[in-house]
């Protein structure tokens, strides 16, 4: 039997009435999100679609605790975040949320393995055997063992994006935010990265918000929401 608290825990992301105004109180104030309500549950793979400029990245940045809402509430794993200070937000982000962007943001002069180890370094600042082992497993899980010692800058675009996914999973996040991760890739590489996300979602129960302009990929998610003019439907 599922208890009420278990059911509440299963909600990974909960937004209520989230508004975002850029440059508030100035002549160029712009309200981009107009009161978003959204719940994402453990294990849900949700596509985020909508026209260019409609607010998708703004929404993802807020859910990812990279930016703060102007008003409304945002809970991650049941923890209300809007009153937290920057340090607490950074800690919560580091432990709960993985990011994959359109551009991979890897360190080109580090190997694939070293890039995957980066989020694990934390305060220690240097790797230990456990981190090395976890990075080896992550690299294997994205099918890149033969390339693990190659400099990230020498990998193909699809391989770089798979390293970025492995890096995003380093801290075993409950939530993965993927902002057009396949946008720069040819269709075969895009499909491989999508299938990798699908597998992570199924095997680890990771909740995923996946921004895409590709309706065919969106159809393969559990659910699609549309962001249109700063409001969410679906």
81 binds ligand ATP (CB under 6 A): no
The residue from 14, 58, 141, 201 that contacts ligand ATP (CB under 6 A) is: 58
In sequence order, the 6+-apart residues with CB closer than 8 A to the CB of 18 are 33, 35, 36, 37, 38, 59, 62, 69, 71, 72, 73, 74
161 binds ligand ATP (CB under 6 A): no
212 binds ligand ATP (CB under 6 A): no
50 binds ligand ATP (CB under 6 A): yes
Q: How far apart are CA 191 and CA 209, in angstroms?
A: 17
The interface mask with ligand ATP, positions 17-46, x = CB under 6 A, is -----x-------x-x--------------
69 binds ligand ATP (CB under 6 A): no
| Ramachandran bin of 90, using left for φ above 0, alpha for ψ from -120 to 50, beta for the remaining angles | alpha
181 binds ligand ATP (CB under 6 A): no
Asked whether 148 and 139 are in contact (CB, 8 A), the reply is: yes
**Which spans of this chain sit near ligand ATP (rule: CB under 6 A)?**
22, 30, 32, 50, 52-58
């Amino acid at each position: 039997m599922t208890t009420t608290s278990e059911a509440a825990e299963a909600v990974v992301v909960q937004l209520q009435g989230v508004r975002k105004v850029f440059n508030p109180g100035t002549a160029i104030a712009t309200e981009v999100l107009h009161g978003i309500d959204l719940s994402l549950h453990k294990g849900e793979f949700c596509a985020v679609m909508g026209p260019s400029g409609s607010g998708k990245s703004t929404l993802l940045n807020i859910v990812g605790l990279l930016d703060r809402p102007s008003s409304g509430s945002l809970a991650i794993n049941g923890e209300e975040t809007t009153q937290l200070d920057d340090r607490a937000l950074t800690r919560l982000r580091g432990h709960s949320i993985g990011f994959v962007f359109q551009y991979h943001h890897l360190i080109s002069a580090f190997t694939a393995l070293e890039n995957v180890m980066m989020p694990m370094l934390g305060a220690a600042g240097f790797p230990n055997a456990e981190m090395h082992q976890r990075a080896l497993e992550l690299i294997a899980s994205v099918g890149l063992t033969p390339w693990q010692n190659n400099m990230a800058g020498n990998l193909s675009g699809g391989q770089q994006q798979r390293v970025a996914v492995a890096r995003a999973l380093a801290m075993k996040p409950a939530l993965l935010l993927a902002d057009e991760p396949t946008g720069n890739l040819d269709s075969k590489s895009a499909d491989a990265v999508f299938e990798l996300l699908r597998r992570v979602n199924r095997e680890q129960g990771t909740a995923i918000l996946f921004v895409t302009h590709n309706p065919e990929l969106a159809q393969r998610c559990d659910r699609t929401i549309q962001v249109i003019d700063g409001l969410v439907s679906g």
